[in-house]
């Protein structure tokens, strides 16, 4: 692994994204961290560049990403960790809420890949890792919109895997179960408190690193991660 290898990590200010960025920096990677706000995030490394982009602002995204690819080249990999959760029966969602959830969890990821993929194909190398979810494997009660976005992301990964095979670009997706992060702060449920009730963001980051460092020519198509025991606590 080249110490100057540059990886873009979205959602890098917290949770899985921050854990992934931190692990990669420790392994000698250069990291371009994308997040809406880094004011509460301190990543102390010369290899880290914070890029404040609101991925939900789709109209502005193409121009922002074009500027990013022009100013930082080559970019060797992309790990899409940004996302948010909202759960409830479909009729509880407004049309604006549906659009916001799909825009951030699916459409912005497609935009990210679209902006970085051409240069990777031209160089004949690159790794794209999408962050799916257990909700991408099976739909569940109160999760229709979230699952729709994650199922779409999984379909994107499967199609890109075939499209990119001849070009030398690898495409993978990680589907974690319940990860103990701030994702649940605004929700009415959370994983249980025992260590085997949740996944840590560092667990997911370790899998992303393994995908990146797998021998060239070998692709890890999909990895599913689950807590040993699925326990859900509902907030009163």
Residue 98 lies in a domain: yes
| Residue-wise pLDDT tens digits, 109-118 | 999 999 999 9
Mean pLDDT, all residues of the chain: 93
Model confidence at 215: pLDDT above 90: yes
**Confidence at residue 4, expressed as pLDDT on a 0 to 100 scale:** 65
Residues 15, 18, 22: CA angle, nearest 5 degrees: 140
User: How far apart are alpha carbons 128 and 173 in whole angstroms?
Assistant: 8
Give the range of the structural domain holding residue 195, as residue numbers without chain letter: 6-234
**Confidence at residue 187, expressed as pLDDT on a 0 to 100 scale:** 80
**Confidence at residue 75, expressed as pLDDT on a 0 to 100 scale:** 96
Model confidence at 73: pLDDT above 90: no
Torsion, Cα of 32, 52, 224, 102 (10° steps): -140
CATH code, domain carrying 200: 3.40.50.720
Residue 1 lies in a domain: no
For the chain, first and last CA: distance in Å? Answer: 49
Residue 214 lies in a domain: yes
Residue 181 lies in a domain: yes
**pLDDT, mean of residues 178-186:** 85
Contact residues for 85 (Cβ-Cβ < 8 A; gap 6+): 146, 183, 184, 187
Give the chain's domain count.
Answer: 1
Residue 72 lies in a domain: yes
User: How far apart are alpha carbons 123 and 83 in whole angstroms?
Assistant: 29
* Confidence class for position 69, pLDDT limits 50, 70, 90: very high
In the block, which residue shows the tokens 């509880």? 92
* pTM, two decimal places: 0.93
- Residue 203, CA distances (Å) to 15, 39, 101, 189 in order: 11, 25, 25, 21
| Residue-wise pLDDT tens digits, 156-167 | 999 999 999 999
Cα within 13 Å of Cα(170), Cβ side = 23
Alpha-helical runs (H) found in 94-173 = 95-102, 108-123, 144-164
Residue 215 lies in a domain: yes
**Confidence at residue 85, expressed as pLDDT on a 0 to 100 scale:** 87
**Confidence at residue 2, expressed as pLDDT on a 0 to 100 scale:** 42
User: How far apart are alpha carbons 126 and 57 in whole angstroms?
Assistant: 26
Residue 148 lies in a domain: yes
DSSP-derived 3-state class of residue 9: strand
Largest CA distance in the chain: 54
**Confidence at residue 3, expressed as pLDDT on a 0 to 100 scale:** 44
How would you classify residue 2: left for phi > 0, otherwise alpha for psi between -120 and 50, otherwise beta?
beta
**Confidence at residue 1, expressed as pLDDT on a 0 to 100 scale:** 38
Range of weakest confidence among 3-7, 25-29, 57-61, 75-79? 3-7
**Confidence at residue 158, expressed as pLDDT on a 0 to 100 scale:** 97
Residue 53 lies in a domain: yes
């Amino acid at each position: 692994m080249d110490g100057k290898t540059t990886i873009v990590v979205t959602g890098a200010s917290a949770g899985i994204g921050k854990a992934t960025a931190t692990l990669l920096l420790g392994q000698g990677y250069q990291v371009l961290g994308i997040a809406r706000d880094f004011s509460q995030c301190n990543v102390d490394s010369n290899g880290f560049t914070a890029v404040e982009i609101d991925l939900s602002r789709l109209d502005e995204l193409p121009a922002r990403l074009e500027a990013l690819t022009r100013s930082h080249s080559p970019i060797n990999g992309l790990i899409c960790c940004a996302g948010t959760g909202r759960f409830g029966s479909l009729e509880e969602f407004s049309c604006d809420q549906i659009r916001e959830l799909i825009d951030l969890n699916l459409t912005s990821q497609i935009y990210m890949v679209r902006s970085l993929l051409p240069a990777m194909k031209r160089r004949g190398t690159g790794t794209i890792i999408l962050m799916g979810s257990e909700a991408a494997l099976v739909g569940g009660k109160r999760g229709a919109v979230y699952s729709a976005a994650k199922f779409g992301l999984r379909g994107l990964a499967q199609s890109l895997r075939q499209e990119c095979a001849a070009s030398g670009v690898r495409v993978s997706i990680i589907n974690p179960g319940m990860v103990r992060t701030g994702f649940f702060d605004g929700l009415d449920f959370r994983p249980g408190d025992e260590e085997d009730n949740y996944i840590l963001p560092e667990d997911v980051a370790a899998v992303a690193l393994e995908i990146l460092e797998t021998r060239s020519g070998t692709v890890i198509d999909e990895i599913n991660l689950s807590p040993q025991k699925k326990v859900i606590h509902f907030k009163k």
